[in-house]
Chain A
Amino acid sequence: MAKEIFMPKLSSTMQVGTVLQWFKEEGDPVEVGEPLFEIMTDKINIEVESYEDGVLLKRYFEEDDEVPINHVVGYIGEEGEEVPDLPPGESGVSSKPVSTETPNPQPEAELSDQPSEEPEKVRATPAARRVAREREVHLTEVEGSGPKGRIHQADVERFAPTATASATSGVTPLAEKVAVAEGMDLQEVEGSGPRGKVYRADVEKARQPAAQPVPPAKRVKMAGIRKAVADRMLHSKTTAPHVTLNCDIDMAEVVAMRKQLLGPIEKQTGYRLSYTEIILKATAHALKRHPNINISLEGNEIIQHDAINIGMAVALEDGLLVPVIKDADRKGLVELTVACKTAGQAAKDNKLKPDEMSGGTFTVSNLGMYAVDTFNPVINQPESAILGIGRIHEKPVGLNGQIVLRPMMGVGLSFDHRVIDGAPAAAFLTDLKAALENPFELLM
């Protein structure tokens, strides 16, 4: 009896996985535990291991194919067994975890009273589906206004208003006449008038052949981590009203402290202490005093986290990952240095496991190694605030009636104004500044 190979679900937000590579050809023998193929999902790459002994009978998807979770990716069975030519449709929850690496194997069946984690089939009217096809909208992203969330045509239209106004309203009669006479498609004409109204001049301009052929550009399908980042940033920026508070922090004391600790910490751990770890420490210290910043919004409930788990944004070639330093408030600078350095390396090597990237309650994003004075970061949801760090450089500041040069660092604290107001955020930032300007506070 041939057994299905399913696309595993590796996190609560995972909807699809992208096949990166197969380690087996059709017809190859496979043993339990052998890696079958590698997938990219939700910001990680992971090898999916075989759960069966047998022969790989069928591969339905190849490199770069996106496969929804719990879809059949292939079959393993005995040589010569018949399997369908086309992948069967979406199965229910597979009756066993596919990959031994699945971090949280879902207990099945007995949880029938729990809301299923399966993505629901989209409820949408035929008209909504037609308009979604025309406007290339994914219905999964559209909120339905109908009963049980049914998506209606108007919901799709609200989600994706047409770029061009309707041909009749956005075109002058004269422009239409000219376009008809010339046999031109008005959809192709860019209007220069209000709301893109097309005038005769626009039609005539569009008639001119383009001056030069545009050199071909390389096109890369937005997928995997790039798409994950894109989706999450867009979601954050469009659902959370961002407010950013900026301030300059005098880092003279931190610079001195780092100088003193650099040697001993390197000797003990083999890693060099960087400003990131000190900033993390100070952030955790300030968060402990301001639990009202260490929160998440889930549905209509605000979760006040006990743990202080700080995410650390790490840039990659093609995107960005945020490993989470758990219980940052309970770690000293030695532990933090080790944790940050190993997490950073794992991120760069794409070796982070899902649980090393989840559970964050606040994020720090450091661009201090670049010529950036300060910036407004985008909140890493479901967290409610994020700290963006600029470079440390000497600036003239007023001190005791004198203008002096001090190593200043610009920071931006973005917060979700749905759950955090300006004053508490400002109080948190003020305490953070105080902790960095008097780093001995961190010993308290």
Chain B
Amino acid sequence: MRELTYLEAVREAMSQEMRANEDVFVLGEDIGVYGGAFGVTRGMIEEFGPERIRNTPISEAAISGTAVGAALTGMRPIVELQFSDFMTIAMDNMVNQAAKIRYMYGGKGKVPMVLRTPAGSGTGAAAQHSQSLEAWMAHIPGLKVVQPSTAYDAKGLLKAAIDDDNPVIFYEHKLCYPKKSDVPEEAYSIPLGKADIKKQGSDVTIVATAIMVHKSLEAAEELQKEGIEVEVIDPRTLVPLDIETIVQSVKKTGRLVVVHEAVKRGGFGGEIASLIAESEAFDYLDAPIKRLGGKAVPIPYNPELEKAAVPVVADIVTAVKETLNRL
């Protein structure tokens, strides 16, 4: 099978959906000739033209408001926000409008839109262009939240998000863009709300999202040398969340480490830890649940400090050993 990067997989999913469905279009800053801040839409304007690959003014409020309106009137817009940090400016449209319209109109209107946006640190983009704010969105009833970690998942999940009749926030981690994996050429859909076990193991369960899936797999490889078998689960979507897969895994391993790049305080890891503590897996826990997350600081510009602000492979290795009393 051919390999694609995560970035190419996102582009392919959009292009295939646009070919298949006239109602799908993309809007965002510099997505036309320039090809988007990260090059995701490069070449798409040549195929689909400026009507369907719409360059917008620099106003996330306008972009998101346009998308909500377009979706309400029957289109299936895909918004590209240059950086997920600018969600703050789209907040009213996403939280107070998109998330609630279908409910408040008794189901008579719906908002089938996707808001794609690059998130996370690691590129030297500093404090206003590096955050991971997915927990904000996961907190809002009416929004679905997707966080793919691989090219294969990104393509399948984006198709499912575009096909969904509700607003979906689609987070693309910047460091995942160049990561390659086997991606089928035909269109395929990965249902939202289905976790993926990225590695089987029996000693401890790691639940990780986005770039932390890759770091956890590296950590798992290192731990394997010491005879520690780690199971790595990527929930892939936070809303809906496939807690059942995690429950079954924790019942098997008795230990849970949750890893995300977002600031630990108030991060989504707390939700996963709580759900497990409330679940039937509680009686199988053989160690306290551990959460790893970013430090409570704005992401620094200095590359060394930037690295130190979020979990690294060594942190994950240490956390796993700690839960196993193997330090």
Contact = CB atoms under 8 A, between A and B. Distances in A.
A127 B325 contact: no
A126 B284 contact: yes
Nearest to A144: B325
A153 B254 contact: yes
Contacts of A128: 286
Nearest to A155: B286
A126 B325 contact: no
Nearest to B254: A127
27 contacts: A125-B254, A125-B285, A125-B286, A125-B287, A125-B288, A126-B282, A126-B283, A126-B284, A126-B285, A126-B286, A127-B254, A127-B283, A127-B284, A127-B285, A127-B286, A128-B286, A129-B283, A130-B283, A130-B284, A145-B325, A146-B325, A147-B325, A152-B286, A152-B287, A153-B254, A153-B286, A154-B286
Interface string B310-327: 000000000000000100
Contact of B325 (A129, A130, A152): A152
B275 to A, nearest CB: 15
Contacts of B325: 145-147, 152
A388 B254 CA distance: 50
Contacts of A145: 325
Interface in B263-320: 282-288
A114 B283 CA distance: 35
A147 B322 CA distance: 10
A148 B208 CA distance: 29
Contacts of A126: 282-286
Given A125-B285, A127-B284, A129-B283, 17 more contacts: A125-B254, A125-B286, A125-B288, A126-B282, A126-B283, A126-B285, A126-B286, A127-B254, A127-B283, A127-B285, A127-B286, A145-B325, A146-B287, A146-B325, A147-B325, A152-B286, A152-B287
Interface string A129-142: 11000000000000
A103 B325 CA distance: 42
Contacts of B288: 125
Nearest to B327: A147
Contacts of A154: 286
Interface string A198-227: 000000000000000000000000000000
Nearest to B283: A130
A47 B90 CA distance: 76
A360 B285 CA distance: 44
Interface string A79-94: 0000000000000000
Interface string A110-134: 0000000000000001111110000
Residue in A126, A128, A154 with the greatest tally of chain B CB atoms within 10 Å: A126
A159 to B, nearest CB: 15
Interface of B: 254, 282-288, 325
A146 B286 CA distance: 10
Nearest to B277: A126
Contacts of A127: 254, 283-286
Question: Which 5 residue pairs of A and B lie closest in terms of their CB atoms, listed nearest first?
Answer: A127-B286, A130-B283, A126-B285, A125-B286, A153-B286
A154 B288 CA distance: 15
A128 B285 CA distance: 8
Contacts of B282: 126
Nearest to A124: B286
B192 to A, nearest CB: 31
A125 B284 CA distance: 8
Interface in A151-197: 152-154
Contacts of A153: 254, 286
Contacts of A125: 254, 285-288
Nearest to B251: A127
Contacts of B286: 125-128, 152-154
B226 to A, nearest CB: 17
B229 to A, nearest CB: 15
A262 B105 CA distance: 109
Contacts of A152: 286-287, 325
B195 to A, nearest CB: 22
Interface in A399-442: none
Nearest to A128: B286
A103 B288 CA distance: 41
A126 B283 CA distance: 5
Nearest to A126: B285
B232 to A, nearest CB: 21
A152 B286 CA distance: 6
A127 B204 CA distance: 14
A145 B283 CA distance: 19
Nearest to B287: A125
A129 B283 CA distance: 8
Nearest to A154: B286
Nearest to B284: A127
A2 B90 CA distance: 62
Nearest to B286: A127
Contacts of B283: 126-127, 129-130
Contacts of B284: 126-127, 130
A383 B6 CA distance: 72
B310 to A, nearest CB: 26
A129 B282 CA distance: 11
B250 to A, nearest CB: 10
B290 to A, nearest CB: 13
Contacts of B287: 125, 146, 152
A130 B254 CA distance: 12
Nearest to A129: B283
Contacts of A130: 283-284
A151 to B, nearest CB: 10
Interface in A41-73: none
B186 to A, nearest CB: 42
Nearest to A152: B286
A128 B287 CA distance: 10
Nearest to B282: A126
B255 to A, nearest CB: 9
Contacts of B254: 125, 127, 153
A153 B286 CA distance: 6
A121 to B, nearest CB: 16
B11 to A, nearest CB: 46
Nearest to A147: B325
A439 B286 CA distance: 63
Contacts of A129: 283
A130 B281 CA distance: 11
